[in-house]
Chain A
Amino acid sequence: MFLKLEFQEHKLSSAGLSSATRYLLGILITVLSAALAFVIIRSEKAAPDLATLATNKLNLSGVENPVTAVLLNFRSYDTLLEIAVLLIVAVSILPDRLPIPAATAKIQFLSNMHPHSVNPVLVGLLKWLIPLAIVMGGYLLWTGAYTPGGAFQAGAVVAGAGVALSLAGHHRFIWQTASVRISLSLGLLMFVMVAAANAIITGTTLQYPTPYAGSFILIIEVAATVSIAATLLLLFTQLKAMVEFTMKGNNQ
């Protein structure tokens, strides 16, 4: 919905403030920041650190990477709500009109645009690059249990594959399909489902039964990867559509 905003040349740099006000604001912010920095440097760090506590409990978390343990086990509720934030973004930018008349073709998420000229080198590269990116995403997802990696990184790489496909110009994404709506909400759906299942199994929401903790975390991460990749790709294609729309408007 934000795409309808016509972007014109605004003089945002000055924001309508006089130069004296801007200097005063600058001085004020500098002084406040300096005071804050001074207070922080003078202060002492609290002795019992949560990081050591998390490391001590790592063997109970089902994964070996402390970051994944915190994100998806110790503080999984925060991550659950963050996935919900992603869904808010996705719903807000989901286009409401089809780019093509609905009757002309069967609506699929990925549709060929049948361009006049096809670059064979580009097609050849994409045939290698896109499967590679998807495999790489899978690897990052799997390795998140042991080393840095996980759903967000994997989702970003998979979305990158989609961006490459979109930039090549041979295909177009149609966001009004049921599969899109399911992919966008899959991460949150799986997370809520796992939380509910845990409540039945162990009696406490989001408490995984210890031997299966790793499996539950993997289920959530796979679903989250799909949603994150879909949301990032949606963001990219919508921004691209907005730029194209603006350029078309300027040319006329």
Chain B
Amino acid sequence: MTHFSIMMLLPMTVGLPLLAAIVSVIINSHRWRTSISTMFATIQTLIVILLLLAIPDADGLYRYTLGGWGAPLGIDLVVDGLSLILLLTTTVLVLVLNLYSIWYFSDVATSTRFWPLWWLLVAGLNAAFIAADAFNIYVALEMIGLAAVALVALTGTRTALVAALRYALVGLLGSLCYLLGVVLLYRAYGTLDLAQLATQTQASPLTGSALCLISVGLVLKTALFPLHFWLPPAHANAPAPVSAALSALVVKASFYLLMRFWLDVLNPTVTGITANFLGVLGAAAILWGSFAAFRTQRLKLLIAYSTVAQLGYLFMLFPLALTGSSPTPLSNAAVTAVTYFIIAHALAKAAMFLAAGNILASCGHDKIDKLQGLVCYQPLALLTFALAGVSLIGLPPSGGFIAKWLLLNAAIENGQWWWVVVMLGGGLLAAAYIGRVINIAFSQASTEKSTGPMKTVPERHSLQVNLAMPGLALAMLAILLGFNAQWILNLLEGSIELHLANAGGVQ
């Protein structure tokens, strides 16, 4: 009986956000909508924690057969250590961003749209993380893509709409490329289930084309350099909690799927050259993203370009995990390092976008050059920005430090020292662009009147604190992640064993 109840939790990770979305469409009261959303976010957190506790009993793998049909005909759901960690990251961020959004979206017209779209986005993310079926992933990607586009367009300003439209077209192109790849896979192997595909795949021109199409689609959605062009405007012009979710979660979902396909499902097709090619693009992303972040004039654009750079680190996974001295592609430290990086970046980047949102709201602009004296009137936002920055740069004892340390270790173990140079250079560049903001924020405000806060808001002081706290909490988490590394590493160990069990069928 207990087994039954725990099994049910897996489909509930999608069902619950959907229910939250429906309720927030039907209910027409701002107060009720926000309270019910908070309730749903809390329940969702409990569900993921229960799943987390249940997984070790199930040998690190949980499979749920929807409709009772079984894999080739029906659709399965699957969760392992890796997807659980991403589910946990999502649910924690959703809970915190939920609280922030309650205070951020006080405008009724915007909030009517925001809450349903927000929960539909969360449902899509969770669906992608527990998907075990190639076509089901396509539907989840469509959900994520459309909800994200609608959320970017939420402010309704011209720049936001243009960015959203471009984002929509890019997302559509990516989805269609992915779908075409899936069609080819179905032709070749007659199944859509990822585990069944993984046992059957052989290197052939058809499978190779499928891998190409799927990778182009997912890379476009992950915004790897030079396909990152849509990301900075979309992430910089969205409302603060949406920017946070986009940078922290949405791009990670497509990266997670890319990981699944390259390391597991279509692994026999992957060659050392293609893996290194992704690595080179990742290295270029680190350098170009950091450089663009250093040069940009707007704070939110800086953070968005920083996302482009940080996504580059994730792509170090492919050369480190798939080439070099590692005996099996999935047993090495690169997978652990990159997963750790995903969590650390998600927390730090979400915190940073929330801080930028507060700065934008109180100053009325986010031009970096005009942020002198920011420390006097937005100390909490600046503290959040700085703490998140510490993690992004990779200074000890933050989560970002551990992530980079693991990644550097993996590179050195594999004897691929050239990636080390790029990663260390990227850290220095990150220090430069974050230091630039902090330097200006601490500098004395000039005599010009334009530098101070646009509106003095003493009566809204409590609101200011409410808005500052969620970001600060996330930044603190990003730092604390560095102290609790072992717990996450243990969880990932289980996941890697699972990968090996799956890959065992190939050899």
Chain A positions within 8 Å of B, measured between CB atoms, are 1-2, 4-5, 35-36, 39-40, 42-43, 45-50, 53-54, 57, 73-78, 80-82, 84-85, 87-89, 91-92, 94, 96-97, 178, 181-182, 184-185, 188-189, 192, 195-196, 199, 202-208
Contacts and interface: CB of A to CB of B under 8 A. Distances in A.
A60 to B, nearest CB: 9
Contacts, number: 166
Interface stretch (B154-162, B339-347, B416-424): B154-162
B209 A39 contact: yes
A192 B17 CA distance: 11
Contacts of A182: 26
Consensus secondary structure, chain B interface: helix
Contacts of B161: 1-2, 4-5
Interface stretch (B40-48, B142-150, B227-235): B142-150
8 contacts: A43-B205, A77-B136, A87-B116, A195-B11, A204-B68, A205-B8, A205-B11, A208-B67
B281 interface: no
B75 A78 contact: yes
B25 A184 contact: yes
Given A50-B72, A88-B117, A205-B11, A178 B187 contact: no
Given A85-B142, A92-B113, A185-B26, A46 B147 contact: no
A91 B139 contact: no
B120 A87 contact: yes
In the A-B complex, list the 10 residue pairs whose CB atoms are closest, starting with the nearest. A46-B190, A207-B68, A92-B150, A96-B109, A43-B206, A205-B11, A206-B67, A81-B139, A185-B25, A91-B116
A18 B187 CA distance: 39
Contact of A87 (B25, B69, B165): B25
A45 B116 CA distance: 42
B4 interface: yes
By DSSP majority rule, is chain A's interface helix, strand, loop, or mixed?
Answer: helix
Among B15, B67, B120, B142, the most chain A Cβ lie within 10 Å of the Cβ of B67
A75 B146 contact: no
B127 A81 contact: yes
Given A2-B153, A46-B187, A92-B153, A192 B73 contact: no
Contacts of A96: 109, 112-113
Given A77-B136, A88-B147, A54 B113 contact: no
Interface of B: 4, 8, 11, 14-15, 18-19, 21-22, 25-26, 28, 64-69, 72-75, 109, 112-113, 116-117, 120, 123-124, 127, 135-136, 139-140, 142-143, 146-147, 150, 153-154, 156, 158, 161, 165, 184, 186-192, 204-206, 209
B376 to A, nearest CB: 37
A222 B270 CA distance: 46
B113 A94 contact: yes
Nearest to B109: A96
A1 B8 CA distance: 37
Contacts of B66: 76-77, 204-207
A84 B67 contact: no
A42 to B, nearest CB: 7
B113 A178 contact: no
Contacts of A49: 190
A78 B150 contact: no
Nearest to B112: A96
A199 B65 CA distance: 12
Contacts of A76: 66-67
Contacts of B150: 1, 88, 91-92
Contacts of A202: 68
A181 B120 contact: no
Contacts of B191: 46, 48, 50
A48 B25 contact: no
Contacts of B156: 1, 4
